[in-house]
Amino acid sequence: MIALGCDHGGYELMQEVIAYLKEKGLEYKNFGCNSTESVDYPVYAKQVAKAVQSGECDKGILICGTGIGISITANRFKGIRAALCGDCFSAEATRQHNDANILAMGGRVTGPGLAVKIVDTFLNTEFSNGERHVNRIRGIDEE
Ligand code: RB5
| Whole-number Cα distances in Å, 133 to 40, 58, 116, 138 | 34, 20, 27, 9
- Interval 42-64 mean pLDDT: 98
Tell me what pLDDT residue 136 has.
97
- State yes or no: is 8 an active-site residue: no
- State yes or no: is 133 an active-site residue: no
Q: Which fold has domain 2-141?
A: Ribose 5-phosphate Isomerase B; Chain: A, (3.40.1400)
Pick from 100, 109, 98, 103: nearest CA to 133: 98
To test the pocket of ligand 1, the residue of 66, 71, 105 to mutate (highest count of ligand atoms within 8 Å of its CB) is 66
**Per the residue annotation, which of 64, 85, 88, 133 is the catalytic one?**
64
| Digit-coded pLDDT (tens) for 75-120 | 999 999 999 999 999 999 999 999 999 999 999 999 999 999 999 9
| Digit-coded pLDDT (tens) for 20-40 | 999 999 999 999 999 999 999
Q: Are strands 28-30 and 59-64 parallel, antiparallel or unpaired?
A: unpaired
What is the H or E stretch that residue 106 is in? Answer: strand 102-106
